[in-house]
Amino acid sequence: MSSRGRNIAVFAIVGILIVLFFVADVLLGSAQLHVGDIWAVLTGRPGIASDPSAYETARAIILKFRLPKAAVAVVAGAALSASGLQMQTLFRNPLAGPFVLGISSGASLGVALFLLGLPLLGAGATGDIVRNLGMAGSAWIGAALIFIIIMAVSVRIKDIMVILILGMMIGSAATAFIEILQYFSPEGALKSFVIWSMASVGGVTAGQLGILLPVCLAGLLLSILLVKPLNMLLLGENYARTMGLNISLTRTIIFLSTTLLAGTVTAFCGPVGFIGIAVPHIARMLFADADHRVLMPGAIMLGALIMLVCDIISQLPANDMVLPINTITALLGIPVVVLVIVRNRKIF
Amino acid sequence: MMEAERIYTVELKNLTLGYGDRVLFAGADLGFGWGEFTALIGRNGTGKSTLLRTIAALAKPLGGDVVVDGRSLESMTAREIASRISFVSTDEVRITNLKVADVVAIGRAPYTNWIGSLTDVDREKVIESLALVGMSAFAHKPIDTLSDGERQRVMIARALAQDTPIILLDEPTAFLDLPNRYEICLLLRELAHKQKKTIIFSTHDLGIALELCDTLAVIENGRFHYGTAAQLIDNGDIQRLFVDTSVRFDPKTKTVRMK
């Protein structure tokens, strides 16, 4: 089949680009590092560095900052895209995604309640591990609650526009709540929250990475297990059920996977929009296929690639300034979404 | 048709259907024969769709049983039902980029592994199913580029690929023009007779049903009337569908006329 050969070629190109942009993301940054020093660090040979102190600086920047940042970009992009593809097929809606449906907002509200609400009650978390787990846990709970609301409504109301509008209302409500919390919050808690809400893949600490990586990998594994159920759901629930699909089990796995993926990414990178909604469409355009055996790995890889690109763009303004990554994802994602709306082609 | 010769594939036993307090029909006993092409006739809201959905295990009856292969649906797993009954719903499938062969291949879902890889047997079934509905030339076309009639054939091919002795179709001709209505019904009749499938479909096309179907099940006022076209006309069951309307059924010409 010629389309299969073409898809393999696209996969190969995207794979190569991920490696290239990953390396570029590690090489580029506000601190000017010598390429030779970077190479010395990456190969673990201090002898070939320009001088020992340069080696130590480069080592610290790369291992503590740039490598984790690039890894977070890859995982966050993959996670949000996989979750977006699941949402679009489950709700049979080309405009669905964790951000649009309010699931990311739910996670944000969870984090806000944890970072701002607890200190207000005089019970701020102490210690890194407690704080990190608390942020992740509150994001999961927030994402899960919104997902349950959206699912409960979608069972009763079949109109997809209603679901989208409801998601946006939930998002606005969450933002309003967060603003009220901010208004009453002391400066210290407020500052850490504002930094969080600017969304960045660079602010993730080693301890947070230790939660983000395994949890997102688990969520991505569930996404791969969902490939066949999602293909059956393409034809609609009646067809899927009469072909023996256990709908409630499938919904539960999608629920778990999306809560883990969108919740964890939101907990540690902040509210990153438009990746989840736009990347599945880019995958559909590039692969010219609707089969999730192609689309799911395609969206996961493209999400990783696009997030790396966004991270590189976010640090383009030289000196120390780094743009919030959600502004870049919005500027890249919105044209794709607009294109989907304007073409008005039925995807479901 | 001799009663003694018939082998039932689907039997309704004391079946009661409805929603909540509203009962559509109660205590229905009926057997659908093997390899028969049966039309389900009745006015809107009489329960045609609900009956098909109940036989497909998409809805639960208020009472009684649906028996397939001598076993109650209730006692079967989803997988066991999926290998016996396939369903062509009224859901529109017009997904961008989704190829015709892939739609039909999804019909193999009850038999494929966790990720849905097709074996040689599965691929042969897909090709054979497309050939049976005359859509082989469309295998690699995206389904959203097809006409309504072509798409309905693909959905029938998907049901054939599911390889079930029973195929249910909910108003398969509703959105089609007249030539396509005949074409689809002729195709279904041929599949019932040549592939020995039990095919039950709901329709408002009384004329086509009387002309092409082996048997008709007419739901009228919460009761079932079942038989061949001739039997139902002789009993006056078809005529009774038009009581209280400004038209009547003429048994001689088998057409509907003004009173």
Q: Which residues in chain B are closer than 8 Å to A289, comparing Cβ atoms?
A: 97, 99
- The label of the residue with tokens 């040549």 reads B194
Q: Is A200 on the interface with B (CB under 8 A)?
A: no
Q: What are the strands, taking DSSP E only, across chain A?
A: none
Q: Residue A345 is nearest to which of B77, B96, B107, comparing CB atoms?
A: B96
Looking at residue B2, what is its pLDDT? 46
Map residue A137 onto helix, strand or coil.
helix
The answer to whether the CB atoms of B78 and A291 lie below 8 A apart is no
How many Å apart are CA A265 and CA A272, to the nearest integer? 8
Looking at residue A322, what is its pLDDT? 81
Q: Which of A6-20, A152-166, B113-127, B152-166 has the lowest mean pLDDT?
A: A152-166
Provide the token pair at A27: 């090489």
Query: What is the pLDDT averaged over residues A140-164?
Result: 89
Q: Which residues in chain A are closer than 8 Å to B111, comparing Cβ atoms?
A: none
Query: Cα-flanking dihedrals φ and ψ of residue B12, to 5°?
Result: -100, 125
User: Most B CBs within 10 Å: which of A243, A282, A293, as the mutation test of the B interface?
Assistant: A243
Angle between helices A2-27 and A275-287 (to 10 degrees): 140
The answer to whether the CB atoms of A228 and B115 lie below 8 A apart is yes
The answer to whether the CB atoms of B158 and A291 lie below 8 A apart is no
Looking at residue A1, what is its pLDDT? 47
How many Å apart are CA B101 and CA B96, to the nearest integer? 14
The answer to whether the CB atoms of A245 and B109 lie below 8 A apart is yes
B19's enclosing H/E stretch is: strand B8-19
Q: Which residues in chain B are closer than 8 Å to A232, comparing Cβ atoms?
A: 106, 109
**pLDDT at A130 > cutoff 90:** no
Percent of chain A's residues with pLDDT above 90:
57
- Which one is predicted more confidently, A321 or B24? B24
How many Å apart are CA A301 and CA A309, to the nearest integer? 13
How many Å apart are CA A324 and CA A294, to the nearest integer? 31
Give A235's pLDDT tier (boundaries 50, 70, 90): very high
Give A319's pLDDT tier (boundaries 50, 70, 90): low
Q: How far is CA A299 from CA A14, A44, A81, A119, A306, in A?
A: 11, 34, 6, 39, 10
Q: Which of A32-36, A230-234, B250-254 has the lowest mean pLDDT?
A: A32-36
Which residues are CB-neighbours of A169 under 8 A, at least 6 positions away? A102
The answer to whether the CB atoms of B93 and A235 lie below 8 A apart is yes
**Short-list B128, B125, B130, B156, CA closest to B141:** B130
Q: What is the ipTM of this complex?
A: 0.94
Q: Residue A284 is nearest to which of B93, B97, B106, comparing CB atoms?
A: B97
The 10 Å CB-count burial string (b at 16+, else e) for B213-241 is bbbbbbbbebebbbbebeebbeeebbeeb
Provide the residue type at A22 as one letter: F
**Short-list A71, A61, A64, CA closest to A21:** A71
Looking at residue B1, what is its pLDDT? 45
Taking only Cα atoms into account, the Rg of chain B, rounded to an integer number of angstroms, comes to 19
The answer to whether the CB atoms of A234 and B82 lie below 8 A apart is no
The answer to whether the CB atoms of A238 and B82 lie below 8 A apart is no
Which residues are CB-neighbours of A70 under 8 A, at least 6 positions away? A22, A25, A26, A308, A311
**pLDDT at A163 > cutoff 80:** yes
Q: Find the residue in B nearest to A283 (Cα).
A: B97
Per-residue pLDDT of chain B (259 residues; tens, 9 = 90+): 445 567 888 999 999 999 888 889 889 999 998 899 999 999 898 999 999 999 999 999 999 999 998 899 999 999 999 999 999 999 888 888 899 999 999 999 999 999 999 999 999 999 999 999 999 999 999 999 999 999 999 999 999 999 999 999 999 999 899 999 999 999 999 999 999 999 999 999 999 999 999 999 999 888 889 999 999 999 999 988 888 889 999 888 888 888 8
Count of A-B CB contacts under 8 Å: 93
Chain A, window 251-310: residues with a beta carbon less than 8 angstroms from a chain B beta carbon: 284, 288-291, 293
Q: Are strands B8-19 and B63-68 parallel, antiparallel or unpaired?
A: antiparallel
Angle between helices A67-90 and A247-269 (to 10 degrees): 150
How many Å apart are CA A140 and CA B17, to the nearest integer? 42
Top-confidence range, A32-36, A189-193, A235-239: A235-239
The answer to whether the CB atoms of B93 and A228 lie below 8 A apart is no
**Short-list A269, A271, A297, CA closest to A283:** A297
Q: Which residues in chain B are closer than 8 Å to A290, comparing Cβ atoms?
A: 95-99, 102
Q: The domain at B3-84+164-258 falls in which architecture?
A: 3-Layer(aba) Sandwich (3.40)
Q: How far is CA B225 from CA A129, B13, B167, in A?
A: 71, 15, 21
User: Most B CBs within 10 Å: which of A223, A242, A282, as the mutation test of the B interface?
Assistant: A242
A325: left (phi over 0), alpha (psi -120 to 50) or beta: alpha
Q: Are strands B85-88 and B37-42 parallel, antiparallel or unpaired?
A: unpaired
- The label of the residue with tokens 């669905």 reads A96
**pLDDT at A345 > cutoff 70:** no
Q: Find the residue in B nearest to A294 (Cα).
A: B115
Q: Which residues in chain A are closer than 8 Å to B56, comparing Cβ atoms?
A: 238, 242
Domains and CATH numbers, chain A: 2-343 (1.10.3470.10)
DSSP state, residue A45: -
Q: Which residue ranges does chain B devote to CATH 3.40.50.300?
A: 3-84+164-258
